[in-house]
Structure 1
Amino acid sequence: MRITARGIGLLVAAVVLAGAGFRFAYPELTLLGVAAGGAVAVATVTAARRPRLEVRRKAHPDRVSRGDPASMTVTVRNAGRWGAANLLATDRCGDQVVPVPVLRLRPGTDTVVRYDVPTVRRGVVPVGPLRVTRRDPLGLVVLARSYGDSVPVWVHPRIHPLSAVPTGAGRSLDGRVDAVPHGSITFDSLREYVVGDELRRVHWRTSARVGELMVRENVDTSLPRIVVLLDNRVAAHPNRVDGVAESFEAACEAAASVVAAAVREDLPVVLLFVAAPESGVAEDDGAVGPLDRLAAVALSAEGTVQQAAARLRRDRLGDTLVVLTGPGGREDLGHVGALRGAYPSVVVGVFGAAEPTPPGAAGLVVVDAADGAAFAAEWDGVRRW
């Protein structure tokens, strides 16, 4: 609740008039002071009366690619039994404020507002809550309340079609790298026997040597596994205009394009970030799938490529590694090149660099591109995975 300048002036006048009336024995001044104070008190009670409003939202759609149209429908219902709601209401949509008419809204009736959600930038656009401002008839007191929840609209990066998808490779037990045209089950590791394991999977020679039952763990190498590493460090994307790094936006579009191509071909794909998830990815805000994570990811000052490479070398999540970075990330290509032993195919995309990457940098396949569309064109021209 906030007292307006008019209300403050009237309250000060009430104190002065009442004080002067008592001090100099002028009952007329005292009466005026009491009346002014009573007006402020009545205004406070009037503004404090909470209207019963029900707010419903519906996004059309709630997930959209950058630049595609999206809208929000807000329905406000007067759930009170008497008295029409005569309020000033606004809805917050990202950085915009949208007026919602709630004037003379009778009990049991509702008003519907539909407006466009801005999708010119990738990100998560929070819509709501509804902000209702109530004033007294004299304009002495203003009280603002929030109604309804905030609904996110996920603006995904733009997806550029990729016709070429890495075929991948499977690693056999003796360390050789073999192409896998057909499905196969390959030995991966040994672990202790637990109740429920099939006895045919027991490795008897190792069990006799260690003195307890050991079971073979196998992996299916029938499909290539693609790992996409997005460099979301501030140092990798130093060029920013109005706080937006176009090289990072292009890298997000490339990551979305690779993920969409892998999903189209029913290939397993993993999306990772150089910086830790808590540095910019709102995974606890309803994010579902890699495209939502790409919509929510932001640049971070934390994390290094060396740490990310160490995690990738330890986990070995796939056989094809796609690293997407900016002009500031070319200094760390040596750490990426060291992963060729763990990942048979390594492709690097560099965005926004003033000059092309020297040929054969760290022995990697490097795709230089200005934006996501240029990356898609260059990607389809790569013949050496």
Structure 2
Amino acid sequence: MGITARGIGLLTVAVLLLGAGFRFAYPELALLGAAAGGALSVAVVIAARRPRLLVHRQADPDRVARGEPATMTLTVRNAGRLPAASLLATDRCGDRVVPVPVLRLRPGADTTVSYDVPTSRRGVVPVGPLRMTRRDPLGLVVLARSYGDGVPVWVHPRIHPLNAVPTGAGRSLDGRVDAVPHGSITFDSLREYVVGDELRRVHWRTSARVGELMVRENVDTSLPRIVVLLDNRAAAHPGRVDGVAESFESACEAAASVVTAAVREDLPVVLLFVAAQHDPGAQHDPGGQDRRGGQDGAAGAVGVGPLDRLAAVSLTGEGTMAAAVARLRRDRLGDTLVVLTGPGGRDDLGHIGALRGAYPSVVVGVFGAAEPTPPGAAGLVVVDAADGAAFAAEWDGVRRW
């Protein structure tokens, strides 16, 4: 709660009048001072009354590619018994403030306002909560409260269609690439028995030890697995305009395109970052799948898909390519490695080239470089591209697939 300039002036006058009235025995001045103080007290009581408002908001859609339209619909309902008079409401949408008409909202009535969400830049656009400002009729006191919860609108990178999809170093047993949920080649882990599992896959020795049925989980090692490593270090993307590194935005578009192409072909895909991110999707589950709309597959452990992670990823100065390469060599998460970096990342091609023994197929995408990468650098297949669309055009021509 705050007092306006008018309220401060009235309070000052009330104190002066009361002091002068009692000091010089002028009851008229004291009466005027008491009236001014009473008006200020009534203003505080009126402004402090909290109206019962129900706020519902709906984003349509809540996940879009950069540049696609998104609309936010906000409904405010007066659930109280008194009119919600003298109210000013604003809704925050990113860096923009949207006015909401709620003046003299009758009991049981509602008002709806729709507005466009800015999607010109990749990222997570926070929308809300609704900010309600209440004033007294004289404008002496103002009180601001928040109603409802804020919702995010995920602006994903643009997706460019890729025709060629890596098939890995091996083939499935019947001579084609297929996605078998439970392979029969290599032991992977043990899990609890669920209805429908074959009894021949029960591991009886472990089941006897833990007291419940445990089932062997096998994987088909011939199924290709794609690992996408996005270089999100600030040093790898030095050029910025208005705080935006276009080379990094192009790398995000390329990563989204590769992930989407892999999900379309039902191929396992893992999305990693060179520098750790402190977003909800920073942890990943290589085997997890989330088919929300077909564009958030291979979700993280907390249910955030890779395209959501790409929307939330930002440049950071932490992390080194050497540490990321060491992690990839240790874990061996797949057989096809796609590294996406900027002009400043070409100095680390030697580190990436050391992974050729662990990953049969290694392709590096370099975005925004002034000069092309020398042929045969570190023995890698390097795709130089100005943006995501150029990368998609060059991708289909890579012979490594």
1:285: Cα distance to partner? 12
Partner of 1:306: 322
Post-superposition CA distance 1:181-220 (Å, at most 9, x none)? 467978657999x999969999xxxxxxxxxxxxx98541
Say which SS state the counterpart of residue 278 (structure 1) adopts.
Answer: coil
**1:349 to 2:349 alignment:** no
SS for the counterpart of 1:76 is: strand
The sequence identity of aligned pairs, in percent, is 79
User: 2:329 & 2:187 partners in 1: Cα distance?
Assistant: 16
Q: Which has the higher strand share?
A: 1
The CA deviation at 1:36 is 1.1
Give the match for residue 87 of structure 1: 87
Question: The residue matched to 1:103 in structure 2 has which SS?
Answer: coil
Q: Distance in 2 between matches of 1:5 and 1:269?
A: 60
1:82 deviates by 2.5
Q: Residue in 1 aligned with 2:16?
A: 16
In the TM superposition, residue 129 of structure 1 has moved relative to its aligned partner by 0.3
Distance in 2 between residues matched to 1:54 and 1:257, nearest whole Å: 40
Amino acid of the residue matched to residue 27 of structure 2? P
CA contact under 8 A between 2:224 and 2:336: conserved in structure 1?
yes
Partner SS state of residue 105, structure 1 = coil
Q: Deviations over 1:306-337 (max 9, x none)?
A: 11111111111100000001111111111111
Contact 1:282 1:296 (8 Å CA) reproduced: no
Helix, strand or coil at the partner of 2:83? coil
Tell me the amino acid that sits aligned with residue 25 of structure 2: A
Rounded to whole Å, the distance in 2 between the matches of 1:359 and 1:127 is 47
1:115 corresponding residue in structure 2 = 115
Question: Could you say which residue in structure 1 is the equivalent of 2:223?
Answer: 223
- Structure-2 residue corresponding to 1:57: 57
Q: Which residue of 2 aligns with 1:174?
A: none
Q: Secondary structure at the match of 1:125?
A: strand
In the superposition, relative to structure 1, how do residues 84 and 132 fare at CA in structure 2: closer, same or farther (>3 Å)? Answer: closer
Would the alpha carbon gap of residues 340 and 15 (structure 1) be closer, same or farther in structure 2, given more than 3 Å must change? same
Is 1:280–1:299's contact at 8 Å kept on the other side of the alignment?
A: no
Q: Secondary structure at the match of 2:355?
A: helix
The 5 A counterparts of 1:363-374 are 363-374=379-390
User: Is the 2:274–2:320 contact (alpha carbons within 8 Å) kept by the matching residues of 1?
Assistant: yes
* In the alignment, structure 1 residue 337 sits paired with structure 2 residue 353: yes
Aligned positions of 1:110-149 closer than 5 A? 110-149=110-149
Q: Which segment is superposed worse, 84-93 or 94-103?
A: 84-93
Q: Normalising by structure 1, what TM-score?
A: 0.88
Q: Please report how far the alpha carbon of residue 33 of structure 1 lies from its aligned counterpart in structure 2 after TM superposition.
A: 1.1
Kept in 2: contact 1:62–1:154 (CA 8 A): yes
C-alpha contact 2:159 2:256 (8 A) present in aligned 1: yes
Shift of 1:13: 1.0
What are the equivalent positions in structure 2 for 1:311-326 lying under 5 Å apart? Answer: 311-326=327-342
| TM superposition shift of 1:288 | 2.6
Q: 4+ residue stretches of structure 1 with deviation over 4 A?
A: 180-192, 194-202, 279-287
The yes-or-no answer on 1:244 pairing with 2:244 is: yes
TM-aligned CA deviation for residue 287 of structure 1: 5.8
Q: 1:217 to 1:8 in 2, by over 3 A?
A: closer
Contact 1:86-1:105 within 8 A present in 2 as well: no
How far apart are the structure 2 equivalents of 1:148 and 1:116?
19
Alignment deviations for residues 30-53 of structure 1 (CA, whole Å, 9 cap, x no partner): 111111111111111111110100
Equivalence map 1:195-274=2 (5 Å): 219-274=219-274
Q: 1:200 to 1:10 in 2, by over 3 A?
A: closer
Residue 149 of structure 1 aligns to a residue whose secondary structure is coil
Paired letter, 1:314: R
Quick one: distance in 1 between partners of 2:254 and 2:167? 18
Residue aligned with 1:277, SS: coil
Map of 2:3 onto structure 1: 3
Describe the SS at the equivalent of 2:319: coil
Instruction: Tell me the equivalent position of 1:154.
Output: 154
- In structure 2, the residue matched to 1:209 is none
User: How far does the alpha carbon of each residue in 1:352-381 deviate from its partner, in whole angstroms, 9 at most, with x for none?
Assistant: 111111111111000111110011011111
CA shift in 2, pair 1:188/1:316, >3 Å: farther
Q: Aligned pair in 2 of structure 1 residues 166, 21: CA closer, same or farther (>3 Å)?
A: same
Change (3 A) 1:191 1:66: closer
Secondary structure class of the residue paired with 1:366: strand
Any conservation in 2 of the 1:281–1:298 contact (CA below 8 Å)?
A: no
Gaps of 5+ in 1: 172-177, 203-215
Q: CA RMSD in A?
A: 2.9
Match of 1:207 in 2: none
- Which SS does the other structure have where 2:270 is aligned? strand
**TM-score, length basis structure 2:** 0.85
Amino acid at match of 2:141: V
The question of whether the paired residues in 2 share the 8 Å contact of 1:129 and 1:148 is answered with: yes
**Cα separation, 2, equivalents of 1:292 and 1:229:** 16
Given residue 229 of structure 1, which amino acid in structure 2 is its aligned partner? L
- How many residues are aligned here? 367
CA distance in 2, matches of 1:235, 1:128: 34
In structure 2, runs of 5+ residues without a counterpart are 205-215, 284-299
Partners of 1:198 and 1:280 in 2: CA distance: 39
| Structure 1: distance between partners of 2:271 and 2:201 | 36
2:372 partner amino acid:
P
1:37-94: per-residue Cα shift (whole Å, max 9, x none)? Answer: 1111111111111010000011111111110100010000000012344411000001
1:245 aligned partner, one-letter code? A
Q: How much does 1:265 deviate?
A: 1.1
